[in-house]
């Protein structure tokens, strides 16, 4: 479900589940974990570029069909496992990861991009944390990383409305640092990666750790996991996911 090519110090990683808009199911998360662990260990990999297959989606979130019947405990495990194996792992990987957002980055998809060190987007990309429309909240660090990136007020509005923003607005807010046409997205990523490759890998590793320390609050991340799991198994959760699966609007 992922494609990898390593060339001249850059690992190009593409999430390849286009028919489901690259939604993150369990198998995909564990594959991502293996891929990133291998990149971390490989001295030939200096920079990683993460993108989605097709032009429609980067990642349209966690796979809703997979967690639709989860109870609180399963909800907590989903969040904890994903955070440990993928999201926090990427944030602390010690090598720059560039998220090249080639379309929808929603829910876990935006959280995945926010775990990366650098984010760039295609003009047509759309970003959002729509979890509340499903009766849950972001569970992969979204409530923590979004305010860090765009400020509490903007993050609160995005999380509480669940609305998507376009790439232009994401650039204004500082959620991404560059917006280019879809066809130029990977060459822009290559150009940023080229700049990074000129620098000391050891210094990049230490810089990432130091920048992360500026706003890391373990308590916030832990609380998010509790709040996330509290939503599972509730009537509103059941209505939210059922409505998605039945392709209708939820009635809370
Ligand atoms: N989990 C599981 N399947 C998903 C998915 C997700 N997060 N996002 C999209 N899909 C699936 C759809 O169910 C559909 O599958 P099908 O063809 O078997 O019916 C396929 O991907 C294509 O998506 P579809 O909804 O038909 O495309 P669209 O262009 O009408 O809408 C989106 C695109 C992104 C607006 C819509 O797919 C969506 O809202 N996805 C969920 C986003 C979300 O809530 N993410 C947070 C999850 S926590």
- Give 60 Cα–ligand 1 centroid separation in angstroms: 6
Provide the whole-model pTM: 0.95
Closest Cα to residue 29, out of 59, 74, 71, 70?
59
Residue of the CA atom closest to atom 27 of ligand 1: 21
Calculate the average pLDDT of the chain: 96
For residue 216, pLDDT over 80 is answered with no
Band of residue 214 on the pLDDT scale cut at 50, 70, 90: confident
- Give 245 Cα–ligand 1 centroid separation in angstroms: 9
Domains of the chain: 2-185 (3.90.226.10)
In tens, the pLDDT along 101-117 reads 999 999 999 999 999 99
pLDDT at res. 220: 83
Residue of the CA atom closest to atom 44 of ligand 1: 130
18: its two tokens: 């286009």
Please give the helix or strand (H or E) that residue 126 lies within, else none. Answer: strand 126-128
What are the residues facing 139 on neighbouring strands? none
CA 78 to chain centre: 15
pLDDT at res. 215: 75
For residue 202, pLDDT over 80 is answered with yes
Higher-confidence position of 105 and 213: 105
For residue 143, pLDDT over 90 is answered with yes
Pocket around ligand 1 at a 6 A CB cut-off: 20-21, 23, 60-65, 104, 106-108, 130-131, 134
In tens, the pLDDT along 48-104 reads 999 999 999 999 999 999 999 999 999 999 999 999 999 999 999 999 999 999 999
Q: Per-residue pLDDT averaged across 209-233, rounded?
A: 87
Which residues are catalytically annotated? 111, 131
Please give the helix or strand (H or E) that residue 3 lies within, else none. Answer: strand 2-7
Residue of the CA atom closest to atom 21 of ligand 1: 20
pLDDT at res. 218: 82
- Give 183 Cα–ligand 1 centroid separation in angstroms: 23
Residue of the CA atom closest to atom 20 of ligand 1: 20
Band of residue 35 on the pLDDT scale cut at 50, 70, 90: very high
pLDDT at res. 222: 86
For residue 163, pLDDT over 90 is answered with yes
Biggest distance spanned by C-alpha atoms of the chain: 54
User: Which atom of ligand 1 is found nearest the CA of 65?
Assistant: 2
């Amino acid at each position: 479900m992922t494609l990898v090519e390593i060339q001249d110090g850059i690992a190009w990683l593409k999430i390849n589940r286009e028919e489901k808009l690259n939604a993150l199911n369990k198998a995909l998360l564990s594959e991502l974990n293996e891929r990133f662990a291998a990149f971390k260990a490989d001295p030939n990999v200096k920079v990683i570029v993460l993108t989605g297959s097709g032009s429609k989606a980067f990642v349209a979130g966690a796979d809703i069909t997979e967690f639709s019947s989860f109870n609180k405990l399963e909800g907590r495990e989903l969040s904890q496992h994903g955070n440990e194996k993928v999201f926090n792992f990427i944030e602390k990987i010690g090598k720059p990861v560039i998220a090249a957002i080639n379309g929808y980055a929603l829910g876990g998809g935006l959280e995945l991009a926010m775990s990366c060190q650098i984010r760039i987007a295609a003009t047509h990309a759309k970003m959002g944390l729509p979890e509340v429309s499903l009766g849950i909240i972001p569970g992969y660090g979204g409530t923590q990383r979004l305010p860090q990136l765009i400020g509490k007020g903007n993050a609160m509005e995005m999380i509480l409305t669940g609305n998507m923003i376009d790439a232009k607005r994401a650039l204004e807010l500082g959620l991404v640092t560059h917006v280019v046409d879809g066809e130029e997205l990977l060459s822009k990523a290559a150009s940023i990666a080229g700049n990074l490759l000129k620098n000391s890998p050891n210094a990049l590793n230490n810089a990432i750790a130091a920048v992360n320390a500026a706003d890391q609050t373990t308590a916030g991340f832990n609380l998010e996991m509790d709040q996330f799991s509290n939503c599972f198994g509730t009537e509103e959760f059941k209505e939210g996911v059922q409505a998605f699966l039945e392709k209708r609007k939820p009635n809370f």
